[in-house]
Amino acid sequence: MKKTLTKPGSLLAMTTLLLFLVMWAIWFFGYRYFLIWLEGYSYYSILPDFASLYKDIPEGLPGYIGAFLHQFYKWPAIGAAVQSFFAVWPAVCIGIIIIRLFKEPSRFLWAAFIIVPIFAYRQFWDMILYHSVLYSLIATEMMLVVLLVTMIKKPQITLPKLMTVKYLNPFVMAVTVALSVYFLVGLDRGNKDQEKMARLEYLAENKDWNEILNTVSLKEAWGNDLMRRYAILALSETGQLTEHAFRYGLKGASDFLFYDEINPLCLNFNAIFYECQDMHNAIVQQSYQLGVQTVPGVSFDALRHLADTYIKLKDYTLAKKYVDILSHSTCHKAWVQERLPKLEAIKNEEPAYIHDEYKAKISNFSHTISSMVDRNPENRKYADLLLCSLLADEEGDKFRDLFRYIAQWQYPAGTSIPRLYEEVLILIAMVDPVAVEGFDISEDTRSRFADYVNLMNAGRGNQALKKYADTYWAYSYRSN
C-alpha cells in the first residue's frame, strides 16, 4: 500500500512542479507589467470596515481573498507565483482525489490536468481573482471531503484499461502545457495589448518618456487610441511635439485626452497627463473617477494619486487622510514612510489652491490648456499643447493670431521656430502674406514647400503626400 501511494504522489508532485514553473514563466516574462497594473487597480485594507464591505457584495470571501493577494503583485515574481498557483492547485486537488479513490492512480493522473487549460482559457481576464479563488476553494473542499471519507473506508475503484494506457500521462501533460501556453499567449491578442498598455502606464508613471517613444511604433500610434496618446504625451514631455505630432497620428484636440471613458487605463492616463501639466484639481477629479470603477470603489492607484496631489497642494488634512488610508494596507509601509516628512513639512502651511473652473474640466481640451497658457505664457510646453491642438482641429486663423501673441515670449526676433510652425505659417502665407512677417522661415522649409506645391500642381499628389507624410501640409490636405 505504501508503494502504491508514494509512486503516484511523487508523480503528481513532479508534474505539478513542472506545470507550475511553465505557468510562472509565462506570467513573469510575458505579463510582468500587467501584474504590476493589477496591484494598482486593486485595494485592500486591514480595517474591519473593508471586511464588512465584502460581506454585503456578491464577490464575498473570494473577492476579499483576491484583494488581499493583489497587494503583492507590485512584485511581479510573487504575482506570477500566485497566478500559477491558482492554475495548478485544482489539478493537485483532483490528483489527490484520484489517488485516494482508484486502484491504479498512477496511470489515471492525466485526468487531473485536463482542468488546467480550461482554467487558463479565461484566467487572464479574472482581474479581481474572484473565479481563481472560488475554483481553488471548491477544489480544496472536494479534496478534503474525499480525504475524510476515505479515512473511514478507502475504495479501490478499478478503471477500464482504455483509461490507464501507459502513454496517456505524458501525452495529456504535453497537451495541457501546449494549450495553456496557447490560451494565455497566442489565442487572444488582447492579452499582449493589455500588457503593452500596462507597460506604457508604468513607464509614464516613472517619467521614462524616451522609452515610450521607443516602444510605440508609428503603426500602433495610428491604430491604438491609448498608445497614440502616450506617444503624444511623451513627445510633449521631451519637447518633440512640434516635430513629430502628426507623424504619430494626431488627428484632433481630442487626441490629447480621453473623454467620457470609464476604462481604468484611460482614466489613469488622464491623471498622468494632468500631473505632467501640474493641473492638480483635474488629477483629483480623474483619480476619483478611476477609483469608483473598481469593486470596492477605490484603488491603490487612485489613492496614491490623491495623496501625492494633496501633498503638492499643501492640503495637510486631505493628504494625511489618504496617506493614513494607505498605511492600513499590507504593502505600503515604505511608501508611507517616504511621505511622512513631506506631510510634516506642510502641517502648518496654507493650502495652495488656485481656483480656476477650467482646471477641473476636461470637456474642452483647448479651453483647459488655454487657461494654463494664460497664466504661464512663458511656458513652452503649455503653448505647444495649445498650438498643436488648434492645428489638429484645423483652426489656422486662431493659430496664426495666437502664435504671434505667444511668440513675444517664446520666439523673439531672430529666434528659429519649430518645423511644424514654419510649415503652418508658410501655408497660411499663400493667402495671407502678413502671417510670416517678423518670423525667420528656414530655407529648408521654403525649399520643401516649393517642392510639395510643384508636385501637387503637376498632378502627383500621392507622391507629395507620401514624401511629406509627417508635415502639416499633408495633414491639412487629408483633413480637407
In the chain, where are the structural domains located?
2-187, 188-251, 254-362, 394-479
Query: Distance (Å, rounded) from C-alpha 408 to C-alpha 396?
Result: 19
Confidence band of 283 (pLDDT split at 50, 70, 90): confident
Cell of 174: 504535453
Query: Distance (Å, rounded) from C-alpha 61 to C-alpha 365?
Result: 43
Supply the pLDDT for residue 359. 47
Per the CB < 8 A criterion, the answer to whether 97 and 146 are in contact is yes
Most confident option among 70-79, 342-351, 355-364, 383-392: 70-79
Q: What is the DSSP letter of 160?
A: P
Confidence band of 308 (pLDDT split at 50, 70, 90): very high
Confidence band of 357 (pLDDT split at 50, 70, 90): very low
Query: Distance (Å, rounded) from C-alpha 438 to C-alpha 404?
Result: 9
The three-state DSSP-derived secondary structure of 36-67 is: HHHHHHCCCCCCHHHHHHHHCCCCHHHHHHHH
Q: What is the DSSP letter of 17?
A: H
The neighbour count for residue 400, using CB atoms within 10 Å, is 18
User: Tens digit of pLDDT for each residue in 220-240?
Assistant: 999 899 999 999 999 999 999
Look up cell 489613492; give the residue: 303
Query: Distance (Å, rounded) from C-alpha 19 to C-alpha 177?
Result: 7
Query: Distance (Å, rounded) from C-alpha 268 to C-alpha 277?
Result: 14
Supply the pLDDT for residue 475. 85
Confidence band of 209 (pLDDT split at 50, 70, 90): very high
The neighbour count for residue 288, using CB atoms within 10 Å, is 16
Supply the pLDDT for residue 360. 46
Among the listed residues 364, 386, 337, 174, the one whose alpha carbon sits nearest the alpha carbon of residue 260 = 364
Q: What is the DSSP letter of 159?
A: P
First to last CA, the chain: 83
Q: In the predicted model, is pLDDT for residue 65 greater than 50?
A: yes
Cell of 266: 484611460
Supply the pLDDT for residue 355. 52
As to burial, measured by CB atoms within 10 angstroms (0-12 exposed, 13-18 middle, 19+ buried), residue 387 is buried
Q: What is the mean pLDDT of residues 400-413?
A: 83
Of the listed ranges 91-95, 310-314, 431-435, the one predicted with least confidence: 431-435
Q: In the predicted model, is pLDDT for residue 244 greater than 80?
A: yes
Q: What is the mean pLDDT of residues 83-99?
A: 93
Supply the pLDDT for residue 341. 93
Q: In the predicted model, is pLDDT for residue 353 greater than 50?
A: yes
The neighbour count for residue 232, using CB atoms within 10 Å, is 26
Beta bridge partners of 102: 157
Q: In the predicted model, is pLDDT for residue 358 greater than 70?
A: no
Confidence band of 205 (pLDDT split at 50, 70, 90): very high
Cell of 147: 480525504
In the three-class reduction of DSSP (H, G, I as helix; E, B as strand; rest coil), residue 181 is classed as helix
Cell of 278: 501640474
Which H or E run includes 243? helix 241-244
Q: In the predicted model, is pLDDT for residue 4 greater than 50?
A: no
Q: Hey, CA dihedral for 273, 276, 281, 287, is it positive or negative?
A: positive
Query: Distance (Å, rounded) from C-alpha 42 to C-alpha 68?
Result: 9
Task: Tell me the chain's radius of gyration from C-alpha atoms.
Answer: 30
φ/ψ of 6, rounded to 5, equals: -70, -45
Cell of 36: 504590476
Q: What is the DSSP letter of 312?
A: H
As to burial, measured by CB atoms within 10 angstroms (0-12 exposed, 13-18 middle, 19+ buried), residue 211 is middle
User: Tens digit of pLDDT for each residue in 9-57?
Assistant: 888 888 899 999 999 999 999 999 999 999 999 999 998 888 888 888 8
Confidence band of 284 (pLDDT split at 50, 70, 90): confident
Among the listed residues 40, 102, 120, the one whose alpha carbon sits nearest the alpha carbon of residue 74 = 40
DSSP secondary structure of 325-346: HHHTSSS-HHHHHHHHHHHHHT
DSSP secondary structure of 263-275: -HHHHHHHHHHHH
Supply the pLDDT for residue 354. 58
